[in-house]
């Protein structure tokens, strides 16, 4: 009778409380990936200069000064955009992997009692048949 009570309590826990807690853990992992790669901040500053490397323009009119200002600031923004694009791409890749991993874990969690019982039955049958 105790075995039936424990089994009943396990199934109730497995498909209610543990299911909700598994979802909470999954959401926390997704939150971590988004914030680890700083995806919102990188999108907001996508074309900002790389490491704030910029050239200041002087007050006087000098073509060399203007050309240096335009070239250095443009290159800094291009490098910044390329670096941020790579980081955003990596972040989105890991986010996609974590979403897929979460779906797989959920499917395994749903069928886990059946899988455990099936492997137990197969193991016992192999033990007694000598295969």
More confident residue, 34 or 3: 34
Distance CA 125, CA 115 (A): 15
pLDDT at 44 over 70: yes
Report residue 80: phi and psi, to 5°. -60, -40
pLDDT at 96 over 70: yes
pLDDT at 47: 83
Distance CA 51, CA 34 (A): 21
Which token pair is 92? 């989105």
> Measuring CA to CA, how many Å separate 107 from each of 3, 103, 114?
26, 6, 12
pLDDT at 54: 67
Residue whose entry in the numeric block shows the structure tokens 């009692």: 113
- Could you tell me the pTM of the whole model? 0.77
3-state secondary structure 34-79: HHHCCHHHHHHCCCCCHHHCCCCCCCCCCHHHHHHHHHHHHHHHHH
pLDDT at 92 over 80: yes
């Amino acid at each position: 009778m105790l075995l039936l009570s424990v089994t009943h309590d396990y199934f109730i826990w497995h498909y209610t409380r543990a299911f909700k807690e598994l979802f909470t853990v999954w959401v926390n992992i997704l939150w971590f990936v988004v914030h680890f790669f700083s995806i919102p901040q990188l999108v907001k500053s996508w074309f900002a200069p790389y490491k704030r490397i910029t050239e200041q323009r002087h007050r006087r009119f000098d073509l060399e000064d203007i050309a240096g200002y335009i070239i250095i600031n443009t290159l800094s923004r291009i490098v910044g955009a390329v670096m941020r694009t790579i980081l955003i791409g990596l972040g989105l890749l890991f986010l996609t992997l974590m979403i897929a991993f979460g779906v797989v874990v959920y499917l395994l969690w749903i069928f886990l009692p059946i899988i455990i019982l099936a492997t137990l039955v197969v193991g016992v049958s192999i033990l007694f048949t000598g295969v």
